[in-house]
Structure 1
């Protein structure tokens, strides 16, 4: 359904008056909705009478369970979020990245690689722009990279074309009931994929490794050690194995440069042929932990049809995000 027709004259409550909540309210109002913003600063009864609305839009910091408990039993009012709205209306492929640590760096690397290749790429979620800010600008030829937290994923019902599931350990247990709920929210990134989608999992961490049982998409692994299909380290070099067929199925047409450059890096037609991407010493991004992010970004970019040349170019120049590990200056050789 057309966005403007779906929301026109609908009574919609946006829960949470933070940045994302206010942006959701603005976007929905522009598409014809009758908006009320509700926030806990308004008092303890701010969620009273939710049943009078046609739609509830939850901000990430508001627990889904809190809203559900506020409804009368049997209420059929739909609850959504900015992330769900974006997935519902986005006309182009999405690369989604989640994990406990490293998702901002990984998403940024993928975005830079896509831009280098010449894609009409956008970066959003917890980093870059809030996705509703650019939703109405997107065409079918664009591609979006989203960094997604468990807060944003907990009620997602669609998965991205390429889902990147990084190192995941216990976190946000003040928000989630337990580690199982936290990991389950993360796995919504993977849960709704189809056979034409791709999932990239970190084999070195149980929560990621054990997620493959829920995936219908094609799985590629990243690891410190050799794997059957995916991206790993061998002899201090980043290697991609077994992806030469898969990357041809990406939903956005590849540039002729990428199609030609990537095919030249393989000898024969074996799905297990290796391609050397870059030596570790040539990667500008500091820190051994960042090699995990690099492997995931390389795998995602390769599946999206980015050429080896452009992947390498970004890895040689990408310094990392501000306020992360970075060289300030060298003193006395240290």
Structure 2
């Protein structure tokens, strides 16, 4: 199906990387869109071409209700009253992923989930290239998909957030995978967790091959499942599974051993699951199994994702700043094997998530919790006997450096958005690394 945008009033919402890529997309087609940003001083304002009309400071603008097509950036909520009104007027609101989907002619591997998206997407990119594919990676990982659209590709790998999927309707993936679904961004969705979950599930709607996590008990009835191939991972009854009877778990497909985790660089069950999914995707794409295994054996953690920064004098310092939801903190804690104390740095903007699910874990662990940031005081009350409130990350690291003993593990796994004290999780993680080097 060919889409014609000529003669339409096109409006872009948001001047982030996505918004800029949308402007360039339309300009290449000879179409001039308008653009709005909620900030009075957006950081990418300098990148706006001179002939583009813009408005700053608020979304409440007549342009929205006068548009034929609105392309919304993922950072802007789809549920703002003016956007609900626009939909009622029949105005089309889509994402940059939807624009991309309408143009692509080669296969797409779509990867979403609450945690692990970037790791798996990067693994698949490396395996695809090793297998001889001209593969390009984009989406939520940092490169807008419209920027890779003109590449001479024979495969696209896209990482997708629920925010991007909210306004995506024609994504026809060769393979779609949801790595996991747990509470996150609940403050974004008026109808709570089920609405967030349904948004994630939409990635399967037009996919040929659906890879599902058996632990998530996905309701296939919610998915348009005509002519789909289903592949499962996660439990003992899944197609791809982990056998953990020994100290070094073994990865299986059906009853055939694929890989012993003692042969890989990554550590922790969440990473073993990421490798399992990557094998499932690789096999579904018919990448040579040996190429996949060789890439996965040598793969090391991406920055800020359970990254061991220092292991000295019997103390491990782990940067898991990418942990922006409670489930990722839970996963990180379950991945640590130590006889000493776990010193957990927890805090930031909790996004209205239920952190009480950590209560039982805290009770069973030898742990000291240092709570900081916007919701630090509230988080310190989850397990008051083992928690302390510290104003910010720097003060927490200074305090830990005075208390830490051989055998301890210091873990930055905040479980929260970085907003309030940092602009993003990378800035938070980089400060943690800097503090470790300076203070310890």
1:113 pairs with 2:127: yes
**Equivalent residue of 1:314, what SS?**
helix
Q: Give yes or no for the alignment of 1:68 onto 2:83.
A: yes
Compared with structure 1, are the counterparts of its residues 72 and 59 closer, same or farther at alpha carbon in structure 2 (3 Å cutoff)? Answer: closer
Residue in 1 that maps onto 2:253: 240
Is residue 2:231 matched to residue 1:220?
yes
Unpaired segments ≥5 residues, structure 2: 40-55, 316-440
Residue pair 1:15, 1:21 contacting (<8 A) in 2 also: yes
Match of 2:392 in 1: none
Q: Kindly indicate whether structure 1 or structure 2 has the higher relative contact order, using CA contacts under 8 Å at least 6 residues apart.
A: 1
Change (3 A) 1:87 1:159: same
1:163 aligns with 2:176: yes
Alignment RMSD: 2.1
Aligned length in residues: 290
Give 3-state SS (helix, strand or coil) of 1:163's partner.
Answer: strand
The equivalent residue for 1:11 is: 9
- Give distance in 1, aligned partners of 2:127 and 2:142: 15
How much does 1:76 deviate? 2.7
Distance 2:6 2:301 in 1: 43
| 1:310 counterpart residue number | 291
* Further displaced range: 8-17 or 42-51: 42-51
Q: Paired residue for 2:162?
A: 150
Q: Determine helix, strand or coil for the equivalent of 2:150.
A: helix
Q: Deviations over 1:130-187 (max 9, x none)?
A: 1101112245xx1111110000011222341101111111110111121011001101
Contact 2:100 2:146 in 1 (8 A): yes
- Contact 2:137–2:158 (8 Å) recurs in 1: yes
Q: Which residue number in structure 2 is paired with residue 200 of structure 1?
A: 211
Q: Select the residue among 231, 238, 246 that pairs with 2:240.
A: 231
Runs of 4+ in 1 over 6 A off after TM superposition: none
Match of 1:36 in 2: 34
Give the TM-score of the pair, scaled to structure 1.
Answer: 0.80
Deviation at 1:50? 2.3
Aligned to 1:92: 106
Say if 2:202 is the partner of 1:191.
Answer: no
In 2, distance between residues paired with 1:122 and 1:301?
A: 15
What are the ranges of 5 or more consecutive residues in structure 1 without an aligned counterpart? Answer: 242-273
Q: Is the 8 A contact 2:11 2:63 kept in 1?
A: no
Max Rg structure: 2
Instruction: Work out whether 1:327 is the aligned partner of 2:308.
Output: yes
1:289–1:212 Cα change, 3 Å: farther
SS for the counterpart of 1:278 is strand
